[in-house]
């Protein structure tokens, strides 16, 4: 008797899903075990595979996730789905998750499994999964890569020299305020008086109207001409997107001959210039968060030791 979606190819048996493209899910080479696994998969039918559950989670993410964050999550979820996507929730064990973390060549493996953990949490609430194999899972050896690049004043000046006027204003504003690129692009004129609410931590920051800050804002206003806009950074009457800032920055770095520099490194310059007040200025909830930005690799002048005459 022929079973639907049950096929043999070579010495192995497969459960075949879909039509174009067809997905061949291996069931093993033992016929009895393959049929048993086939029965389990058919019984779970409407619940879907982990790939289906990941897609459903991305289509309806939890509240509070910004579009920029969701864009990153889609990349993480795609990496996870390529490995676990064809399996059903209860077919993934903790050993599978740990092996993924140990063997994944990407530094984002923990973030990817974090997405899978949240997918499992929703599946458990819906009665689709019985356990979450991702809870507390960490690689056997793990050290979070820390960026220690600190741009020098000379390098920043060279980048600014090769930058268009919009990027020059953005650089000056980022250096003065320490705001993230996303917060800079959303910054409105009225926020400077009422306070800026940072998107990531929700902290409220109000900047003193110093002469330097007023000069930067005047330069930003001059770029806008007679076009009335709400945001400080804009181009042709439209709000500047962080991706636009990144592209302009990369081009200016290339023209200036400065390597391994990112726009967000300006925030680290702000923190490292005055470490004692960095936590309050950056709007961090804890000192630990601020320490990741402190890159004060200060170079000390040391006199060489003179050898004693023998």
Residues in contact with 176: Cβ distance below 8 Å, sequence separation at least 6, in sequence order: 207, 212, 213, 216, 270
Provide the pLDDT confidence category of residue 255 given band limits of 50, 70 and 90.
very high
Predicted local confidence at residue 30, as pLDDT: 85
What is the tens place of the pLDDT at every residue in 229-250?
A: 788 999 888 889 888 999 999 9
Higher pLDDT, 22 or 244: 244
Q: Which of 82-86, 143-147, 159-163 has the lowest mean pLDDT?
A: 143-147
Predicted local confidence at residue 282, as pLDDT: 65
Predicted local confidence at residue 63, as pLDDT: 83
Q: 125 and 31 share a domain?
A: no
Percentage of the chain lying above the pLDDT 70 cut: 81
> Considering the domain boundaries, does residue 301 fall inside one?
no
Predicted local confidence at residue 144, as pLDDT: 57
Q: Is 66's pLDDT higher than 90?
A: no
CA–CA separation, 73 and 68 (whole Å): 9
- Residue (of 149, 121, 122) closest to 135 by Cα position: 121
Q: 268 and 175 share a domain?
A: yes
Q: Is 301's pLDDT higher than 60?
A: no
Higher pLDDT, 209 or 82: 82
Strand residue runs (E) in 87-145: none
Predicted local confidence at residue 6, as pLDDT: 83
Provide the pLDDT confidence category of residue 151 given band limits of 50, 70 and 90.
confident
> Phi, psi at residue 191, to the nearest 5°?
-65, -25
Higher pLDDT, 5 or 77: 77
Predicted local confidence at residue 308, as pLDDT: 62
> Considering the domain boundaries, does residue 33 fall inside one?
yes
Q: 172 and 270 share a domain?
A: yes
What is the tens place of the pLDDT at every residue in 41-64?
A: 666 554 578 888 898 898 888 887
Q: 93 and 176 share a domain?
A: no
Predicted local confidence at residue 134, as pLDDT: 94
Q: 69 and 159 share a domain?
A: no
In 3-state terms, what secondary structure has residue 110?
Answer: helix
- Would you call 111 exposed, middle or buried from its count of C-beta atoms within 10 A (0-12, 13-18, 19+)? middle
Q: 127 and 174 share a domain?
A: no
Q: Is 141's pLDDT higher than 90?
A: no
Q: Is 302's pLDDT higher than 50?
A: no
**In the block, which residue shows the tokens 């001059």?**
222
Neighbours of 10 (CB within 10 A): 7
> Considering the domain boundaries, does residue 255 fall inside one?
yes
- Residue (of 153, 173, 177) closest to 165 by Cα position: 173
Q: 113 and 52 share a domain?
A: yes
What is the tens place of the pLDDT at every residue in 175-233?
A: 988 888 988 998 888 887 788 888 777 778 888 888 888 899 899 988 887 776 788 99
Q: Which residues of 214-228 are buried (b: 16+ CB within 10 A; e: fewer)?
A: eebbeebeebbeeee
CA–CA separation, 26 and 38 (whole Å): 10
Q: Is 19's pLDDT higher than 70?
A: no
Predicted local confidence at residue 225, as pLDDT: 77
Predicted local confidence at residue 299, as pLDDT: 41
The CATH number of whichever domain residue 77 belongs to comes to: 1.10.150.130
The total number of structural domains in the chain stands at: 3
Q: 122 and 232 share a domain?
A: no
Q: 160 and 283 share a domain?
A: yes
Q: 181 and 245 share a domain?
A: yes
Q: Is 172's pLDDT higher than 90?
A: yes
> Considering the domain boundaries, does residue 148 fall inside one?
no
User: What is the extent of the structural domain holding 158?
Assistant: 153-291
């Amino acid at each position: 008797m022929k079973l639907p979606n049950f096929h043999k190819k070579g010495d192995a048996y497969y459960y075949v899903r879909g039509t174009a493209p067809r997905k061949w899910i291996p069931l093993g080479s033992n016929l009895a075990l393959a049929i048993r696994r086939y029965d389990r998969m058919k019984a779970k039918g409407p619940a879907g595979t982990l790939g289906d559950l990941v897609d459903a989670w991305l289509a309806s993410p939890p509240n509070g996730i910004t579009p920029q964050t969701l864009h990153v999550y889609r990349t993480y979820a795609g990496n996870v789905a390529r490995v676990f996507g064809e399996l059903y929730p209860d077919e993934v064990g903790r050993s599978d998750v740990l092996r993924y973390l140990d063997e994944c060549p990407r530094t984002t493996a923990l973030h990817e499994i974090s997405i899978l953990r949240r997918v499992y949490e929703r599946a458990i609430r819906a009665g689709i999964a019985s356990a979450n194999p991702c809870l507390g899972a960490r690689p056997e050896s793990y050290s979070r890569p820390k960026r220690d690049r600190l741009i020098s004043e000379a390098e920043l000046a060279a980048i600014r020299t090769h930058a268009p006027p919009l990027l020059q204003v953005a650089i000056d504003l980022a250096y003065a305020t320490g705001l993230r690129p996303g917060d800079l692009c959303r910054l409105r004129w009225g926020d400077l008086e009422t306070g800026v609410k940072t998107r990531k931590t929700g902290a409220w920051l109000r900047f003193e109207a110093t002469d330097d800050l007023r000069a930067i804002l005047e330069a930003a206003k001059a770029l806008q001409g007679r076009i009335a806009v709400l945001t400080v950074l804009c181009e042709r009457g439209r709000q500047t997107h962080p991706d636009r800032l990144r592209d302009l920055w990369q081009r200016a770095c290339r023209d200036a001959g400065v390597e391994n520099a990112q726009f967000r490194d300006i925030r680290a310059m702000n923190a490292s210039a005055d470490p004692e007040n960095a936590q309050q200025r950056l709007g961090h909830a804890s000192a630990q968060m601020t320490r990741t930005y402190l890159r004060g690799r200060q170079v000390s002048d040391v006199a060489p030791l003179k050898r004693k005459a023998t």
